[in-house]
A and B are shown apart, each in its own frame.
Chain A
């Protein structure tokens, strides 16, 4: 194995993708190639440092599902409130439109495909939101919005 061949195998060696024979050849070459040996040592040390971060990972079980934990940040509550206000605002707006349609209907002006008061977009957001008690915060609101938007 020459210098260039050995350097060409560096990624496979560090990535533990050489077979036993190749690994022995590579390591034998390191004894005669101080530059490559130093490179291997420092990169292995880097890998060890990265794996040290890996040891601290313990993935918790979240009993409430994907959105089981309320967000810790204070601003999350404000965002959550803003989304709800927007939902009710949209509800008020579409409710007005719907009432207008009802008035038209009473007046004998028929709009094909028009929906009743309880079927407007904002109301459906609120219902979808209320029906997802296991979720929380902004995420819960957005999930509700996503589902409502998709169901339209």
Chain B
């Protein structure tokens, strides 16, 4: 039977499960992959809970989810062209969905090149809508450091996306 502490860990995770899925889905772009990532993060959470729950569960979960999603993307890339059977069975996605996938890929490549703190700050600010002060408290950083991470991370993503924007500008 589960102990009370493992029940507590499951309860805490359940509170943030939607957040975990959301972070994973934004980076992975596929429902099944996001659910796989959510399950992986849950298992890590259970393992972590045996050593004690982190002071800031949401921050811990965000960091682990982002790292897990990036790991999944790295493992997905080399096998992607080989999954022809999957491509043949599924209807072709609409063009805007293709563009969204390309955009997601560019964003994730940019995120990969950031430090863990920079990634965490950017995701917390853009997707969670947290204030710089709240992010600083969650990540045990100074507010000016958080702002610096935010600008550097955002600039890195911008520098990646500029390659997509350049042809559009030259056409206009």
Whether A150 contacts B6 in the complex (CB less than 8 A), given A12-B147, A53-B26, A72-B36, comes out as yes
Please determine whether B107 and A50 come into contact, CB atoms closer than 8 angstroms: yes
Please determine whether B158 and A46 come into contact, CB atoms closer than 8 angstroms: yes
Docked complex: B32-52 residues within 8 A CB-CB of A: 32, 35-36, 38-39, 42-43, 46-47, 50
Docked complex: A111-152 residues within 8 A CB-CB of B: 128, 139, 142-143, 146-147, 150-151
For chain A, the bracket of interface size reads: 35 or more
B residues contacting the other copy or chain, number (CB 8 A): 46
Whether A146 contacts B6 in the complex (CB less than 8 A), given A10-B151, A57-B22, A66-B13, comes out as yes
Please determine whether A139 and B126 come into contact, CB atoms closer than 8 angstroms: no
- When the two chains form the complex, which single residue of A12, A49, A69 contacts B161, counting CB atoms closer than 8 Å? A49
Please determine whether B100 and A52 come into contact, CB atoms closer than 8 angstroms: yes
A12 to B146, CA, bound (A): 11
Closest to B99 in A: A52
Q: What are 7 contact pairs spanning A and B, CB under 8 A?
A: A14-B150, A50-B127, A54-B127, A60-B31, A72-B32, A73-B36, A151-B3
Contacts from B to A (Cβ < 8 Å): 1-3, 5-6, 10, 13-14, 17-18, 21-22, 25-26, 29, 31-32, 35-36, 38-39, 42-43, 46-47, 50, 100, 103-104, 107, 125-127, 131-132, 147-148, 150-151, 154-155, 157-158, 161-162, 165
